[in-house]
């Protein structure tokens, strides 16, 4: 379809991008464009200007820095999904990246764009929450790091705000006693997550000592599931414990705000959340060799 | 998640290259399609690829509301915008400007269908204004500047709601939304049969509205030359001559000065048969601005305008005795026609539906009533299957329910009621005369392929383990190659349903063949060349098939309803035979023999018993054009034209079986197996047949599990794009095992039956029957399509609401 | 779409709440994305002119403002009010030119209906509330219905519900907050309550 007229600026640096955003409140950043362009072509979004940051140096690539993998914001999903080391170090993130959209989308869309856009049904937010990532943002006041738990604030709203540029994501290494997984129930039409559950569990022997479990597609932003985490912590990943955690998954969510649309009612979404939380935990259990 | 490797399924049919096949074997060979290289390498030229000098672009303003009065429209701002050449509204139309309907029924309330809205908007696709501009983007920007004042009216989208007393009336002059009231069969006999039978089983089903989703949205390029009043239209059409006839009437342009051509067309599935308002407007606009005008629909525009399919609310009753004998069938359907009548819409839920309700069975008493309803949705018309999927669905679901009622195996009850091979020709209580068939054979083949007995054992065991497996049968029959013209005329058709075929030799002995069919992905060039190579004994490569140009081809009826092989192919065969006969006479003359003594084989004319006295058809062709030495009473030249009018429909049939596993906790349905045994008569190209079955099944899977056009209470289309309307992706379609039996049709010289729609007709009920079978222990006896995960979960007992 | 709920405010009276909710300025501040909300003559105002003449800063509302000021500009039954609603959903931010008509305003009930249009989308809404005394203060029972048309409805189904929820939710959260402020203030001063009561 036909977007409205817009100006196009190619930023030479992150600071220039930040400035351009500050100067024009109606401007939008474009990287891979695979979240923004569909909204523009469908006529829903009409930014006055696009600020292209896809070519900026140093913002792309997967790099190991000690116990942390740094993902440049402009790294494509495909690159992240193809990184064997990342599958070892932070399975949940690589797995989520591998399930975004389809091959064409994965070759163009970027991980930074995904979390900055923060679509309620995209795949990376829950994975990043489970992985306990840190997000680097460059805003009008300079650079800062944001803990992932503080990053997703609402529908399409993040701590980066209107004028910040996400420049990179640090994903901590899982370590030997930790395993993770991302399981997704795609909506048949859009391929977005009707429900997507990310889980990262740390074990001491059989027992789960730390659980980070998060979901996409259920609320208007990627969300931790504290009730499921509490249910599985201190337990071993056996069929009973997994069932209890699955049942508890929706407990800490404000039921009024659970997403409801043609694809799934609130009630069914919560049912899927339980089922997929179980699947995520089972998968982690198998990977940890405990099931 | 996409998978690259699939397991299971049958071995795919291997293709061969035409060069590697002997002429004698070419008919029936799975040769590679000659169309594919250009389609696959981007060389194909679609309507939007066409560039003409001075070409302008057109965009149309559609309505924000489904039902409203157009109180005011102000185009002044749009007219001033950069690049805008002209802006038109209904006020500017100086032509008849009303779309005709191509099929009449006795009770039909034929309503006006204006190409632009004067004062009443009846669905969101109605055109309020059109803009012609230098650039495409400029045209679309200008639409935003058109100021419209609406007075919104209450809308109605379901046929039963539309037929209720208090419904908003769509066409005020009619005073009602009832478009027609039609029936077929014997009401009294059927009522008596239902009363007399041991059991009557009832079922209410909705056969949901579907959006066609051809890969190429509709488009038109119109070019008008005022100096000779010639209008040249290139467009997405399945039937150029039909479009020429209808469009000429709508815009008052002389038919003989109009040319309609189909460039490469990216699929149709019925949606490109009908003549739409936007198409007429492009041509009309070209005449106004005297420059070429191009319009390409966007996908979302397509969703608001392309004729949708199905849209039935059906109540069915089947009468069955305790021993499983089916005694009678009663069907009452309310059919959604949408806001206006589309070209063939009155025929789809009537003659293409009610007449198929006998299925493969011997049922003595059938009565069907159909009420058509106007609503505020997109006009509904033919979509792959057109009436037959709806018929097949209701019978096959009812037969399954009947089996349940008398505690009989679903395969057994079918076998018990099937027609036998020696029952043919068989006249059903709903006016069809079936030509030939062997239904037991396809069912048994399918049951063997799927391992039926062993499946039932596994199903038992799985149930004990808390897993739910199910199997579903669909024994379908359908009628295609719709004909003969006299009959369809009596039934209300505004057109004859014959087909034309012209076979023309060139002096050097090659062949050009023109067909009134109009392929849009089916591979006609390949199959028609195979047919002619076989008939004429000419090399496959020496044949060129021409379709889709009203200037080059005799009047034709086009491609839909699985008719092109049966009717179009037969027309070419008849012409080929006429050509051979003329050539035989020339050969005989030159070989100084009696034509009766001249045999024709593999392209050679030979005097019987004297093999050295022979001449090739190529040589004869040259002779025909030299005319130096041809029979005295004969004209020069070597070509023939046939307008072939078949004597009856043809009836493909078969059995599809779906095997599924259902997870009651998530409603997820996974395919374990899908077997299709189809009898489409003789097969010209088995690879193409296989492809048609695959594609048809994919669309049937779409209807069963994923698709459905949804409107809110205000008639707003809410499944407005592929983000919300779930066209199945490759990984949604099961691995399919396809087999065929061959019962040639006695109705045409090729013995073919038509295959284009079979898969779509057969698949939905196979799948629904399978899911219901899987969940039977949970008390499920019906689930409405599409069987989304949520619907299946709820049917299986999930949730409270 | 349909929504409903109850907002409870302690330590206040129905008259106070009624006055507060009758203040176009307070409503404008509570509505997320509302650029201005002013009275207009008819149902088809010139939004460009209204935008130009809309005041830079809002006048004060309760508890700062006097009850008389509020009463003067309070919603009137049959009155028309124009508002520019900028709904912001990530990169999608349609601007709806909205006209609301007060269909009924009779203590303790108010009912309004409105229509808003953006470039190729529009909505219609209907909303009402009824005040009742509760044990500790006041309960405001409210309901709203909305229909969406055009492009947003055709393309945006995935997000329409959550966005509507968010708009409605935030509005009543803000209303509750403002009313709490009013109630706290009047508790300490007591003066407002008596002034408000005298207006009835």
Any C CB within 8 A of A118 CB: yes
B749 in Cβ contact with B688 (< 8 Å) = no
User: Are residues B666 and A188, on separate chains, in Cβ contact within 8 Å?
Assistant: no
Nearest to A262 among B299, B724, B789 (CB): B724
Please list every residue in chain B whose beta carbon sits closer than 8 Å to the beta carbon of residue A188.
705-706, 726, 728-729, 732, 788
Can you spell out the DSSP letters for B88-100? Answer: E-GGG--S--BPP
pLDDT band at A286 (very low <50, low <70, confident <90, very high): very high
Domain boundary among B278, B305, B332: B305
Residues of chain B with pLDDT under 70: 1-11, 801
Suggest the residue from B708, B720, B722 to mutate for an interface test with chain C (most C CBs closer than 10 A).
B720
Please list every residue in chain A whose beta carbon sits closer than 8 Å to the beta carbon of residue C86.
none
Domain boundary among B615, B644, B673: B644
The CA distance from B656 to B637, in Å, is 49
B653 in Cβ contact with B437 (< 8 Å) = yes
B437 and B451 in a single domain? The answer is yes
Any B CB within 8 A of A189 CB: yes
Q: Which fold is adopted by the domain A62-172? A: 3.30.465
Suggest the residue from C91, C118, C169 to mutate for an interface test with chain A (most A CBs closer than 10 A).
C91
Any A CB within 8 A of C162 CB: yes
B512 and B372 in a single domain? The answer is no
For B196: left if phi > 0, alpha if psi spans -120 to 50, otherwise beta; the answer is alpha
- The reported pLDDT for the residue numbered B123 is 98
Nearest to A44 among C155, C161, C162 (CB): C155
Outline where DSSP puts E strands in B428-571.
433-434, 468-477, 499-505, 511-515, 543-547
Q: Is C68 exposed, middle or buried (0-12, 13-18, 19+ CB in 10 A)?
A: exposed
B596 and B663 in a single domain? The answer is no
Any A CB within 8 A of B670 CB: no
What is the separation of C-alpha B559 from the centre of its chain, rounded to a whole number of angstroms?
Answer: 8
Domain that holds residue B663: 312-482+648-795
Assess if residue B378 is contained within a domain.
Answer: yes
User: Are residues A264 and B141, on separate chains, in Cβ contact within 8 Å?
Assistant: no
- Which chain A residues in 17-46 lie under 8 Å from chain B, judged by CB atoms? 38, 42
User: Are residues A43 and C155, on separate chains, in Cβ contact within 8 Å?
Assistant: yes
Please list every residue in chain B whose beta carbon sits closer than 8 Å to the beta carbon of residue C120.
64, 144
Any C CB within 8 A of A162 CB: no
Q: Is C19 exposed, middle or buried (0-12, 13-18, 19+ CB in 10 A)?
A: buried
Q: What does residue A264 show for φ and ψ, rounded to 5 degrees?
A: -160, 140
Cβ count near A259 (within 10 Å): 23
Domain that holds residue C48: 2-199
The reported pTM is 0.95
Q: 3-state class of A156 per DSSP?
A: coil
Q: Which fold is adopted by the domain A7-52? A: 3.30.43
Give the residue numbers in C contacting B (CB under 8 Å), as ranges: 119-122, 124, 147-150, 153-155, 157-158
* DSSP state for residue A219 in the 8-state scheme: S
**Could you tell me the two tokens for A223?**
């969300």
What is the separation of C-alpha A218 from the centre of its chain, rounded to a whole number of angstroms?
Answer: 13
Q: Quick: pLDDT tens for B516-561.
A: 999 999 999 999 999 999 999 999 999 999 999 999 999 999 999 9
Assess if residue B411 is contained within a domain.
Answer: yes
Any A CB within 8 A of C158 CB: yes
Q: Tell me where in chain A the CATH 3.30.390.50 domain(s) lie.
A: 178-287
- The reported pLDDT for the residue numbered C192 is 47
Tally of CA atoms within 13 A in the half-sphere of A228 that contains its CB: 33
B515 and B394 in a single domain? The answer is no
Please list every residue in chain C whose beta carbon sits closer than 8 Å to the beta carbon of residue A119.
90
Residues of chain C with pLDDT under 50: 189-192, 194-195, 198-200
Please list every residue in chain B whose beta carbon sits closer than 8 Å to the beta carbon of residue C149.
64-65, 714, 716
The CA distance from B73 to A289, in Å, is 70
Q: Which residue of A has its CA nearest to B297?
A: A1
H or E element at residue C126: strand C121-133
H or E element at residue B71: strand B68-74
Q: Return the closest-CA partner of residue B363 out of B331, B340, B385.
A: B331
Please list every residue in chain C whose beta carbon sits closer than 8 Å to the beta carbon of residue A155.
89-90, 159, 162-163, 166
The CA distance from B778 to B744, in Å, is 44
Any A CB within 8 A of B299 CB: yes
Please list every residue in chain A whose beta carbon sits closer than 8 Å to the beta carbon of residue B710.
262
- The reported pLDDT for the residue numbered A12 is 93
The CA distance from A269 to A217, in Å, is 9
Mean predicted lDDT score pLDDT of chain C: 84
Any A CB within 8 A of C93 CB: yes
Any A CB within 8 A of C2 CB: no
Nearest to A1 among B300, B788, B801 (CB): B300
The CA distance from A42 to B718, in Å, is 14
* Neighbouring subunits of A (3+ Cβ pairs under 8 A): B, C
Q: Quick: pLDDT tens for A96-124.
A: 999 999 999 999 999 999 999 999 999 99
Helix B524-536 to helix B570-591 angle (10° resolution) is 30
Q: Which residue's structure tokens are 């491609």? A: B559
B45 in Cβ contact with B264 (< 8 Å) = yes
B628 and B732 in a single domain? The answer is no
Q: Which residue of C has its CA nearest to A28?
A: C91
Count of domains observed in chain C: 1
CA distances from C163 to A252, B640, C160, C167 (A): 21, 67, 5, 6
pLDDT band at A290 (very low <50, low <70, confident <90, very high): low
B546 in Cβ contact with B553 (< 8 Å) = yes
Torsion (CA) B560, B566, B568, B571 in degrees, nearest 10: -160
Q: 3-state class of B759 per DSSP?
A: helix
Could you tell me the sign of the dihedral formed by the alpha carbons of B184, B190, B194, B195, in that order? positive
CA distances from C49 to A242, C38, C40, C54 (A): 62, 12, 11, 9
Q: Quick: pLDDT tens for B280-297.
A: 999 999 999 999 999 999
- The reported pLDDT for the residue numbered C185 is 66
Q: What does residue B183 show for φ and ψ, rounded to 5 degrees?
A: -150, 165
B255 and B376 in a single domain? The answer is no
Q: Tell me where in chain A the CATH 3.30.43.10 domain(s) lie.
A: 7-52
Q: What is the ipTM of this complex?
A: 0.95
Can you spell out the DSSP letters for B637-671? Answer: --EEEEEE--SS-B--EEEEEEEEEEETTTTEEEE
Assess if residue B676 is contained within a domain.
Answer: yes
CATH, range A178-287: 3.30.390.50
Nearest to A44 among C92, C161, C162 (CB): C92
Q: Which residue's structure tokens are 């209720």? A: B164
Q: What does residue C97 show for φ and ψ, rounded to 5 degrees?
A: -80, 115
CA distances from C103 to A159, A167, B766, C81 (A): 41, 52, 55, 12
Assess if residue B626 is contained within a domain.
Answer: yes
- The reported pLDDT for the residue numbered B5 is 37
Q: Return the closest-CA partner of residue B453 out of B483, B417, B406, B411.
A: B411
Please list every residue in chain C whose beta carbon sits closer than 8 Å to the beta carbon of residue A36.
91
Any A CB within 8 A of B791 CB: no
- Which chain A residues in 211-270 lie under 8 Å from chain C, judged by CB atoms? 220, 256-257, 259-263
Please list every residue in chain C whose beta carbon sits closer than 8 Å to the beta carbon of residue A39.
90-92
B415 in Cβ contact with B440 (< 8 Å) = yes
Look up the CATH number of the domain holding residue C55: 3.30.530.20
Residues in chain C: 200
The CA distance from B626 to B631, in Å, is 12
B475 in Cβ contact with B396 (< 8 Å) = yes
B68 and B90 in a single domain? The answer is yes
Look up the CATH number of the domain holding residue B90: 3.90.1170.50
**Could you tell me the two tokens for B173?**
């002059």
Give the count of Cβ contacts less than 8 A between chain A and B. 71
User: Are residues B1 and A190, on separate chains, in Cβ contact within 8 Å?
Assistant: no
Nearest to C119 among B144, B717, B719 (CB): B144
Any A CB within 8 A of C156 CB: yes
Domain boundary among B644, B669, B691: B644
Assess if residue B280 is contained within a domain.
Answer: yes
The CA distance from B244 to B255, in Å, is 7
B311 in Cβ contact with B348 (< 8 Å) = no
What is the separation of C-alpha B169 from the centre of its chain, rounded to a whole number of angstroms?
Answer: 31
B331 and B432 in a single domain? The answer is yes
What sections of B541-636 are H helices per DSSP? 570-591, 617-626
Count of domains observed in chain B: 3
Q: Quick: pLDDT tens for A1-59.
A: 788 889 999 999 999 999 999 999 889 999 999 889 988 988 888 899 999 998 888 89
Any A CB within 8 A of C150 CB: no
**Cα separation of the two ends of chain A:** 50
**Cα separation of the two ends of chain B:** 31
CA distances from B125 to B65, B427, B700 (A): 9, 42, 26
Any C CB within 8 A of A154 CB: yes
B468 in Cβ contact with B544 (< 8 Å) = no
H or E element at residue A275: helix A266-287
Look up the CATH number of the domain holding residue B732: 3.30.365.10
CA distances from B243 to B115, B247, B549, C11 (A): 15, 6, 11, 74
Q: Quick: pLDDT tens for A120-146.
A: 999 999 999 999 999 999 999 999 999
Nearest to A220 among C92, C94, C162 (CB): C162
Q: Which residue's structure tokens are 């503080």? A: A150
* DSSP state for residue B261 in the 8-state scheme: E
């Amino acid at each position: 379809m036909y977007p409205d007229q817009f100006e196009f600026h190619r930023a030479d640096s992150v600071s220039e991008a930040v400035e351009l955003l500050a100067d024009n409140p109606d401007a939008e950043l474009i990287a891979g464009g695979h979240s923004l362009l569909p909204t523009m072509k469908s006529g829903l979004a009409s930014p006055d200007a696009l600020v292209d940051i896809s070519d900026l140096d140093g913002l792309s690539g997967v790099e190991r820095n000690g116990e942390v993998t740094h993902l440049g914001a402009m790294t494509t999903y495909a690159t992240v999904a193809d990184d064997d080391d990342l599958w070892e170090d932070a399975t949940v993130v690589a797995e989520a990246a591998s399930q975004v959209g389809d091959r064409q989308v994965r070759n163009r869309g970027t991980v930074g764009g995904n979390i900055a856009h923060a679509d309620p049904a995209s795949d990376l937010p829950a994975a990043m929450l489970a992985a306990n990532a840190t997000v680097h943002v460059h805003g009008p006041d300079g650079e800062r790091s944001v803990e992932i738990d503080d990053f997703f604030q609402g529908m399409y709203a993040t701590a980066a705000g209107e004028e910040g540029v996400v420049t990179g994501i640090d994903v901590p290494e899982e370590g030997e006693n930790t395993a993770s997984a991302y399981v997704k129930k795609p909506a048949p039409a859009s391929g977005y997550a009707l429900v997507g559950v990310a889980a990262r569990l740390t074990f001491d022997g059989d027992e789960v000592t730390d659980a980070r479990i998060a979901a996409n597609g259920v609320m208007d932003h990627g969300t931790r599931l504290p009730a499921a985490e509490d249910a599985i912590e201190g337990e071993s990943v056996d069929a009973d414990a997994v069932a209890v955690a699955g049942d508890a998954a929706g407990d800490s969510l404000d039921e009024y705000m659970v997403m409801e649309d043609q694809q799934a009612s609130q009630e069914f979404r919560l049912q899927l959340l339980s089922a997929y939380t179980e699947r995520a935990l089972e998968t982690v259990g198998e990977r940890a060799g405990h099931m | 998640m996409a998978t690259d490797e699939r397991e299971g399924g049958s071995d795919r049919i291997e293709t061969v290259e035409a060069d590697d096949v002997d002429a004698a074997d070419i008919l029936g060979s799975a040769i590679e399609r000659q169309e594919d290289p250009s389609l696959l390498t981007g060389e194909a030229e679609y309507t939007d690829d066409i560039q003409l000098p001075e070409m302008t672009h057109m965009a149309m303003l559609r309505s924000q509301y489904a039902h409203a009065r157009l109180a005011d429209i102000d185009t002044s701002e749009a007219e001033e915008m950069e690049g805008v050449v002209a802006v038109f509204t209904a006020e500017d139309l100086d032509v008849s400007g009303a779309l005709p309907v191509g099929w009449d029924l006795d009770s039909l309330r034929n309503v006006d269908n204006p190409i632009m809205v004067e004062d009443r908007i009846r669905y969101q696709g109605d055109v309020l204004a059109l803009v012609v501009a230098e650039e495409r983007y400029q045209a679309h920007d200008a639409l935003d500047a058109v100021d419209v004042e609406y007075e919104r009216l209450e809308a109605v989208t379901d046929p039963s709601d539309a037929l209720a007393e208090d419904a908003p009336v769509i066409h005020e002059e009619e005073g009602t939304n009832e478009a027609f009231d039609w029936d077929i069969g014997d009401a009294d006999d059927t009522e008596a049969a239902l009363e007399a039978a041991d059991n009557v089983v009832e079922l209410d089903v909705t056969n949901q509205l579907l959006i066609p989703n051809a890969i190429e949205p509709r488009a038109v390029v119109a070019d008008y030359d005022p100096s000779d009043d010639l209008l040249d239209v290139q467009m997405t059409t399945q039937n150029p001559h039909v479009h020429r006839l209808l469009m000429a009437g709508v815009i008052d342009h002389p038919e003989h000065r109009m040319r309609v051509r189909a460039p490469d067309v990216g699929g149709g599935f019925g949606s490109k048969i009908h003549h739409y308002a936007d198409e007429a407007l492009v041509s009309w606009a070209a005449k106004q601005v005297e420059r070429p005008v191009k319009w390409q629909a966007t996908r979302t525009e397509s969703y608001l305008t392309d004729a949708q399919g199905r849209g039935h609310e059906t109540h069915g009753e089947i009468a069955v005795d305790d021993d499983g004998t089916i005694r009678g069938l009663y069907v009452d359907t309310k059919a959604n026609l949408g806001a206006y009548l589309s070209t063939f819409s009155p025929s789809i839920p009537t003659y293409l539906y009610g007449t198929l309700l006998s299925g493969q069975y011997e049922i003595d008493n059938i009565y069907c009533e159909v009420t058509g309803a106007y609503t505020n949705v997109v006009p509904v018309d033919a979509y792959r299957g057109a009436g037959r999927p709806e018929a097949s669905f209701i019978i096959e679901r009812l037969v399954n329910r009947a089996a349940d009622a008398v505690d009989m195996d679903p395969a057994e009850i079918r076998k018990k009621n099937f027609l036998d091979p020696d029952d043919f020709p068989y006249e059903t209580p709903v006016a069809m005369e079936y030509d030939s068939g062997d239904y037991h054979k396809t069912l048994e083949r399918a049951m063997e392929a799927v391992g039926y007995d062993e499946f039932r054992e596994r199903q038992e065991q799985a149930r004990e383990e808390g897993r739910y497996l199910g199997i579903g049968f669909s024994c379908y029959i359908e009628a295609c190659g719709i004909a003969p013209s006299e009959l369809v005329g009596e039934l209300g058709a505004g057109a004859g349903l014959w087909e034309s075929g012209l076979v023309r030799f060139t002096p050097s002995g090659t062949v050009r063949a023109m067909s009134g069919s109009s392929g849009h992905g089916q591979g006609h060039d390949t199959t028609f060349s195979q047919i002619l190579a076989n008939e004429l004994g000419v090399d496959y490569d020496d044949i060129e098939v021409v379709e889709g140009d009203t200037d080059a081809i005799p009047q034709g009826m086009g491609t839909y309803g699985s008719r092109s092989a049966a009717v179009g192919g037969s027309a070419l065969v008849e012409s080929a035979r006429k050509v051979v006969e003329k050539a035989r006479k020339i050969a005989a003359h030159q070989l100084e023999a009696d034509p009766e003594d001249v045999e024709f084989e593999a392209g050679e004319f030979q005097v019987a018993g004297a093999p050295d006295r022979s001449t090739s058809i190529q040589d004869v062709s040259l002779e025909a054009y030299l005319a130096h030495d041809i029979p005295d009473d004969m004209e020069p030249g070597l070509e023939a034209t046939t307008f072939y009018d078949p004597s009856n429909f043809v009836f493909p049939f078969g059995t599809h079986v779906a095997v599924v596993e259902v997870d009651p906790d998530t409603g997820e349905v996974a395919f374990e197996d899908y077997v299709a045994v189809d009898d489409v008569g003789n097969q010209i190209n088995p690879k193409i047949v296989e492809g048609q079955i695959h594609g048809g099944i994919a669309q049937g899977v779409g209807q069963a599990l994923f698709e459905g056009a949804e409107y809110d209470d205000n008639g707003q289309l809410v499944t407005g794009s592929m983000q919300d309307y779930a066209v199945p992706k490759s990984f949604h379609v099961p691995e399919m095992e396809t087999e065929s039996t061959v019962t040639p049709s006695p109705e045409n010289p090729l013995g073919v039956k038509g295959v284009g729609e079979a898969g779509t007709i057969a698949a939905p009920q196979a799948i629904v029957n399978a899911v219901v079978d899987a969940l039977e222990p949970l008390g499920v006896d019906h689930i409405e399509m599409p069987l989304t995960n949520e619907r299946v979960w709820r049917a299986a007992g999930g949730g409270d609401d | 779409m349909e929504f409903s709920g109850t907002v409870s405010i302690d330590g206040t009276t129905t008259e106070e709440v009624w006055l507060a909710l009758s203040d176009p300025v307070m409503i404008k501040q509570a509505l997320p994305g509302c650029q201005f909300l002013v009275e207009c003559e008819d149902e088809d105002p010139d939004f460009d002119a209204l935008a130009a003449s809309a005041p830079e800063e809002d006048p004060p509302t309760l508890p700062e403002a006097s009850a008389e000021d509020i009463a003067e500009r309070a919603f009137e039954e049959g009155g028309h009010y124009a508002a520019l609603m900028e709904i912001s959903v990530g990169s999608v931010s349609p601007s709806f030119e909205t006209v609301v008509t007060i269909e009924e305003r009779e203590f303790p009930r108010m009912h309004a209906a409105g229509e808003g249009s953006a470039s190729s989308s529009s909505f219609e809404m209907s909303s009402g509330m009824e005040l009742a005394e509760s044990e500790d203060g006041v309960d405001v029972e409210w309901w709203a219905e909305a229909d969406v048309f055009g492009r947003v409805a055709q393309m945006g189904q995935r997000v329409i519900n959550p966005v509507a929820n968010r708009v409605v939710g935030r509005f009543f959260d803000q209303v509750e907050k403002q009313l709490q402020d009013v109630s706290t203030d009047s508790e300490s001063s007591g003066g407002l309550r008596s002034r408000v009561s005298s207006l009835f």
